[in-house]
Amino acid sequence: MPRYRKERDVLGSVKVPTDAYYGSETQRAINNFPISGISLPNTFIRHYAMIKKAAALTHIKFGKLESKKGSAIVKACNELIAGMHAEQFTTDIYQAGAGTSVNMNLNEVIANRAIEILGGRKGNYKLVHPNDDVNMSQSTNDTFHACIHLTVYDELHNTLIPRLERLQKAFFKKAMDFRNIVKIGRTHMQDAVPMTLGEEFSGYASALERQIKSIKMISDALLDVSLGGTAVGTGIEAYKGYSKAVVKELRKISGVQLRSAHNFFDIQQNQIEELWVSGALRSLATLLNKISNDLRLLSSGPRSGLGEITLPPVQPGSSIMPGKINPSIPEMLIMVSLDVAGKDKENEEGALLGQLELNVYMPIIAYNLLYSIEILSKGVDVFRQKCVIGIKANEERIKQHIEENLSLATALAPHIGYSRAAAIARKALKENKTVRQVCLDQKLFTKEELKKILDSKALARVG
């Protein structure tokens, strides 16, 4: 069997591996863009195949595609939706703009697989043509954009959000577990008035809950697609009734309640929805970064730092210092967060550089969004399982910090005034004493009075 078959396109003859389902345009992209070795993820290909399937079913219903041919195309699409033939999609993310190479990769693989289903040999496009049949009433410009919306929406709701909800619940459980443990609050990285460890963790749980609500709200805009808008939004080469019908079919196939956009020109010119989602992911990353750094601080030491909580040990922390254990899981999540923030900046620049009727930087924007969702999803799951669930409170260390807390002088102010209370705090610091001891030394209050005034649980309003 020959190693290659020859295919022809507008630029001439192209050698394509005999066993490849892709054709000449994909091969040119492979030859032209050997840049990173990174391709769009298989989930994007699967969702793109859903669009192609919806189009074929619509064409069959409208009598635009002969039933036997259309059924072969649908069958080929079903194989891609099931994850088959993933090795056929290797076009680099750094490619010719707009994603034409990816769209044609789909068209060619589906066409050649449909040709086989009909009993033909790969490359016999008289049976099924990549452009005329598989790409009928479509353009890269409307389908690729729609695929970004569909894939990102699906990945947000079926991958990221469920994992965030589990993380939020894990923090809420810790908040309940720690609700009676009074500790020092800290502002400006300095000792502040008492609060509970549970209240601190409830802040993390609440912030995550708000982030989840925000992502859900913003993602609703992704339901607008411009299928049928074709090249520039006018609908050229798409027949009457196609646009609404294909969206209806795609809703059935994907389970995502997509809708035809009010203005196709707007949707195809701009990446507004993608920027909203990218910004929401960056905000989430910022929050996760802050929480992770808080946990690193609270667990620092274990003897020379705050040491108020203990994180589950997951691996040795040093190649030279025996017994050293680092906060490895929070460190991982911080790096994930930094990567997501960088991707958001890249998306912003990509959206800014879109011109006139099309943004040609859609491939990198699509990759960045899906990559960010993937690493955030995996990161928060590992963070929950290997860190948050196993966090323990070091109550003895917390009690020690409470007793030594100079901000307990705040409780004296209603009794002796702000200035005298401040003087006591300064004296306690200078003489390395507790606020309680200075008060006793100066005979300002009795032990019993101080027990009530400096009751950390009362100050933190516990019980």
Average pLDDT over residues 11-23: 97
**Whose CA is closest to 22, among 7, 41, 43?**
7
Phi, psi of 355 (to 5 degrees): -130, 135
Cβ(397)–Cβ(308) under 8 Å?
yes
Name the pLDDT band for 2 (thresholds 50, 70, 90).
Answer: confident
At a CB cut-off of 8 Å and minimum separation 6, what does 460 contact? 182, 193, 194, 195, 196, 199
In this structure, what token pair is assigned to residue 230? 């074709």
Span 144-164, pLDDT tens digits: 999 999 999 999 999 999 999
Residue 81 has pLDDT above 90, yes or no: yes
> What pLDDT, on the 0 to 100 scale, is given for residue 463?
64
CATH of domain 17-136: 1.10.275.10
In this prediction, residue 457 has a pLDDT band, given cuts at 50, 70 and 90, of confident
- The DSSP code for 313 is P
Question: What is the structure's pLDDT at 456?
Answer: 85
Return the percentage of the chain with pLDDT > 70, whole number. Answer: 100
Domain boundaries of the chain, sorted by first residue: 17-136, 142-178+192-395, 405-459
Specify whether the CB–CB gap between 237 and 230 falls below 8 A: yes
In this prediction, residue 98 carries a pLDDT of 94
pLDDT, residue 461, reads 84
Mean pLDDT over 244-270 rounds to: 97
Alpha-helical regions (H) of 356-394: 362-386
How far apart (Å, rounded) are the C-alpha atoms in residues 224 and 146? 8
Distance CA 303, CA 299 (A): 10
Looking only at the bridges linking them, the beta strands covering 224-225 and 259-260 are parallel
Least confident stretch, 124-133, 328-337, 447-456: 447-456
**Average pLDDT score over residue span 51-65:** 98
Candidates 147, 264, 289; CA nearest to 207 is 289
What is the pLDDT, as a whole number, of residue 220? 98
End-to-end CA distance of the chain: 82
CB 47 within 8 A of CB 254: yes
pLDDT in tens, 301-311: 988 999 999 99
- Would you say 340 and 292 are in contact if contact means Cβ atoms under 8 Å apart? no
In this structure, are residues 230 and 306 in contact, taking their beta carbons and an 8 Å threshold?
no
pTM: 0.94
Host H or E run for residue 53 = helix 42-61
Cβ-based burial of 342 (10 A; exposed 0-12, middle 13-18, buried ≥19): middle
As a whole number of angstroms, the distance between CA 282 and CA 116 comes to: 45
Residues with a known catalytic role:
188, 318
Gap between the Cα atoms of 94 and 112, Å rounded: 25
- Determine the average pLDDT of the residues in 1-14: 90
Predicted local distance difference test score (pLDDT) of residue 460: 82
Paired residues of 258 in beta bridges: none
Residue range 229-256: average pLDDT? 97
CATH among 1.10.10.60, 3.40.1050.10, 1.10.220.70, 1.10.40.30 for 405-459: 1.10.40.30
Helix 362-386 vs helix 328-352: angle between axes, to the nearest 10 degrees? 160
Check residue 1 and give its pLDDT. 62
Mean predicted lDDT score pLDDT of the chain: 96
Rg (C-alpha) for the chain, rounded Å, is 30
Which CATH superfamily groups domain 142-178+192-395?
Fumarase/aspartase (Central domain) (1.20.200.10)
